[in-house]
A and B are shown apart, each in its own frame.
Chain A
Amino acid sequence: MRQLLSDKMNRRPRWACASVLAVVSSVLCQPAWAQRMLAITGATVETATKAGAIEDATILIKDGKIGAIGRDVDIPVAAQVVDATGKTILPGIVDPYYVVTIGRNSQASAQRTIVFRGRVFVIGGGAPAIATTFAKVADGLDSTKVDWTPAIRSGVTSFHVVTGGYAQSLLARPAGEDADSEVAISKSAANVLVTVSNDTKSLDVLRKNLKTTSGRSTTQRPVSTSGGRPSAAAIRAAMAARASAAASASPTASLWASVRDGKMPVFVNVNNASAVLHADAIVDEFPKAQVALIASGPNVYSTLAALEPKRYTVILPPAIDRRPNSADRINMPRMLSEKKIKFALSLSLGQSDFRVNQPTPLFGVSMLIRAGLDRQDAIKALTIEPAKLIGMEKEVGSLEVGKKADLLVFGEDPFSATADIEQIYVSGELVNE
């Protein structure tokens, strides 16, 4: 059976296409690339859909989106044709957990010196281990200070930009060559991030916010500057804040409400295995809540049997892990794949393998595949699974008609040890060659 994915547009006669183009080109404010059509022919295309890989396929890119994909695609005359025979094309990688540090204006970062019983103490000076005050990545991020190049050259075409602690993420995509910044930031959609450990403060962020019904957000509690108990005025202010919050639900309250209802996942970063159990005990009361679990700790694998597959998506670095206190190696993605627990791979979580001149960005993934991880699962874990997680599955994450044309062109099998990316297209535009 032949794979043919094509929309109605392309079945029209060519003159219709051409006339549409003429109209479009007459509109001067359109950027140049929007007017171009590009056809990439002859490559093996990994679609990251049920269709799997299509051999000798043609991808027609139109206005930065995929106009048609399949074996029998009519190539319009106006289209620029790129022959990619013998090459393999992957969808652009979606990084579900790209960590940046942001400037938080929390009081903990302010340093104070006090003298107590003849001794000098310096209080604060650096945020507490886990920040428990809410911050938006969008507010604190200075995108010019983040080096995006390694990730973009490694094939990441969509970023879920996150930070440690309690925060709200943002979504970013590589901008074109001419843009001021390397990435373009979209502030529209963003998720709740929580870092938990097995201590009360960090667990309370998850616990109290999930339990709080709308209008009574505990995050609005004032932090008294003097330490100790909040003053009467502060309490009164808090009461007033709560009353007003009840009238118009605060932004965090509405975020948590959608987490409770399962409309939006909560990203929980766990740094050890027991934190998984603590977090699991908390979300247990909220059957609808979807949880993205960032398995950054070394022994998190040992709790995976406790996870309910429907609720969790595990985000992990593409690397073979080591069992703590032993020399045994584990292939956690393979375990998850075989246990039918959803998982996504984040290239940036394995920071050490992430360099500007990274010759083989998917080396870690190829190791996992050689150690038994299903190839299609690996591709999905890099693309469509993270896209689903961040709510962008309708735009990116796979090669389907209507989605953004984010393509990675490999000269050989992307999961061979020497595979290098030859071309990277973001929204149909070549950003790196």
Chain B
Amino acid sequence: MSNLHLTRNAVWGQLAVMAMACSLVCVYSPPASLAGQMPADTKKESPKKDTSDKSASEDASEDDSEDDSDTASGVLAIVGGDVITVTRETIRGGTILIEDGKITALGNDIEVPKNAETIDASGQVITPGFISLNASRVGLRSSSDSSAKYADSLDPFDNNVRLAVGIGITTTCQKVTLRSGGSRGGRSEETLAGSSTNLVADGFPITERFPGLDPDLAQLALLKPPTETDYGEFISTCPCCGLPILPTEPLATPAPKPLTTQGSVVVKMSYGVLDDMLLRENVFFDTNSGALIGANNQRNWRGQIELARKYLTDQAEHEKATAAGKKVKPPRKPVKDDVLRLVKGEIAMRIPANSVSEMKDILLLAEELDYKVVIDGAAESWVIGRKLAEADASVILTPRRRRNAQFGAEDRTGTWIETTRVMEGQGVPFAITSLSGSISLNGLAGRDLTSLPLEAAFAVRGGATERAALAALTIVPARMMGLEDRIGSLEVGKDADILILNGPPLDYRTYVETAIVNGHRVYDRGQARVLPVYDK
């Protein structure tokens, strides 16, 4: 009996706690506000589903009162903002119409259809969405499965997607591990960075265990291929003594082997919307920095290009012959597809290089073998601006990156804040990336992806025009990837990746108020609450 009393008392205590909890719940759980917190376009665009309950939108509309106006026509209109188109002149108080994810009209004298959903952007600045070329695993789940498709790995609900789009990035180009493995016998950095169980052999996850030793990530990290240190040199350290191993030419000539490339995926930051999130795969011929250094590597590479060109002419002849009705064996493909695409000029080679000598080598080869080249890093590019322009190369810069000058050669080594001005003056297209491609929430305006617009502001600080700095975040990276017909500027027919900003795009005080990706309104500052919410 006393036992029973005890439990009853306990239960009443529980009840009291619950009553408190319930009052909390009642405050926080009106479904209406929840409906509002969902990205506006997780709803499918079938008219019957657009009848979202009114209370939902009313409760949620903290800064968008017109959200509820039914988009029966499927047209979204942005009116009254100053539209920075990047490729054309800026339109003051312009109107943009969006339909089916594309920009359908743009200008001053545009009639807004009656039942269009309208966003009033008067007093605000409208720019195309920014493009990041060095993002890493944003909205893309890493997979240990060798047959995995990137389209299936997309995660539109990754909170990093919301953070990226909140800072204005609507498109990211992300390097991904190619399944074939690294060139130097080591595994790529990304595989090691994950857990020790995500390595793959025969499609099974592998747990690596050293006999007699615990699996130790720090130890595994020692085995990773040479990476770029802060000084920009490529140094691998000996796993035993920790001393640097300097790159040397091999004594015996190794057999020619194809250049190692990395895959890349272009992912739209359409938070909450899976459709059309994957834009394109393998937009660059991405290779590592050491790939073209040394006579042997260069000889191999020339051989590859030669084979590719021969194959292309053979193939053309074969097509001609078959068109004439002859039965001829089709030529065997001697190189990988990405080499062919490079030779055809469909994609550019993206290669990390920082020192003048490295870059000169790369430019010489590119001119000799006739392909487009994008130099990633390009710390000392200010020294050889004219050469870069002559070779028709473009560069990817991070204005805040620091590389120390060599003693006695300060006038032609190391980084310089005015690199962006020199590039603009010489007519070398430059794109801007942040110091790191990941998203971390440590500190404000750190090294990560969310400092991208700030990085462009440093380009202006170095003497580039604001126009060039904004282009470095938009149309220039789009051209590098061959996606200038889809993204990078505001033009009729292009993807509706649009930012509504409460100030000039490169000002550190500016916030993205609304972001539209593929025509979907995926971010509203007031609702997403991932960045500070206040009015200036």
A interface residue numbers (CB < 8 A to B): 108, 114, 116-117, 119-125, 128-129, 197-201, 203, 226-228, 272-274, 277-278, 281, 299, 301-306, 308, 320, 323-331, 334-335, 338-339, 359-360, 363, 367, 370-372, 417-418
Interface residues of B in 325-384 (CB under 8 A from A): none
- In the assembled complex, the Cα of A339 lies from the Cα of B55 at a distance in Å of 12
**Could you mark each residue 225-243 of chain B with 1 if its beta carbon is under 8 Å from any beta carbon of chain A, else 0?**
0000000000000000000
Q: What is the size, in residues, of chain B's interface with A at 8 Å between Cβ atoms?
A: 59
Contact B43 A119 (CB under 8 A): no
Residue numbers in B under 8 Å from A277 (CB-CB): 156, 274
Kindly list 4 other residue pairs between chains A and B, CB separation below 8 angstroms, not including A201-B147, A281-B275, A418-B11.
A199-B143, A226-B202, A227-B202, A274-B157
Contact A198 B145 (CB under 8 A): no
The 4 closest A-B pairs by CB, nearest first: A227-B202, A273-B157, A277-B274, A371-B25
With contacts A277-B156, A299-B157, A331-B31 taken as known, whether A128 is within 8 angstroms of B205 at the C-beta atoms is yes
Interface residue from A227, A367, A418 paired with B22 (Cβ < 8 Å): A367
Residue numbers in A under 8 Å from B153 (CB-CB): 198-200
Contact B210 A120 (CB under 8 A): yes
With contacts A274-B154, A306-B43 taken as known, whether A122 is within 8 angstroms of B206 at the C-beta atoms is yes
Residue numbers in A under 8 Å from B108 (CB-CB): none
Residue numbers in B under 8 Å from A274 (CB-CB): 154-158, 274
Can you list 6 A-B pairs with a CB-CB distance of less than 8 A?
Answer: A120-B211, A123-B206, A302-B272, A308-B49, A339-B31, A367-B25
- Residue of A whose beta carbon sits closest to that of B207: A122
- In the assembled complex, the Cα of A327 lies from the Cα of B29 at a distance in Å of 11
Residue numbers in A under 8 Å from B156 (CB-CB): 273-274, 277
Contact of B246 with A by CB under 8 A: no
Residue numbers in B under 8 Å from A108 (CB-CB): 204
Residue numbers in B under 8 Å from A370 (CB-CB): 18, 22, 25
Interface residue from B25, B155, B159, B209 paired with A122 (Cβ < 8 Å): B209
Contact B15 A303 (CB under 8 A): no
Residue numbers in A under 8 Å from B147 (CB-CB): 200-201
Contact of B208 with A by CB under 8 A: yes
- In the assembled complex, the Cα of A273 lies from the Cα of B274 at a distance in Å of 11
Contact A372 B157 (CB under 8 A): no
- In the assembled complex, the Cα of A306 lies from the Cα of B40 at a distance in Å of 10
Contact of B149 with A by CB under 8 A: yes
Contact B26 A201 (CB under 8 A): no
- In the assembled complex, the Cα of A119 lies from the Cα of B52 at a distance in Å of 59
Contact A417 B11 (CB under 8 A): yes
Residue numbers in A under 8 Å from B8 (CB-CB): 418
Residue numbers in A under 8 Å from B25 (CB-CB): 320, 329, 331, 367, 370-371
With contacts A302-B272, A306-B42 taken as known, whether A417 is within 8 angstroms of B29 at the C-beta atoms is no
* Least Cβ–Cβ distance between B294 and chain A, in angstroms: 24
Contact of B389 with A by CB under 8 A: no
Contact A334 B21 (CB under 8 A): no
- In the assembled complex, the Cα of A327 lies from the Cα of B27 at a distance in Å of 12
- In the assembled complex, the Cα of A304 lies from the Cα of B272 at a distance in Å of 11
* Least Cβ–Cβ distance between A317 and chain B, in angstroms: 16
Residue numbers in B under 8 Å from A121 (CB-CB): 199, 201, 206-209
Residue numbers in B under 8 Å from A278 (CB-CB): 152, 154, 274
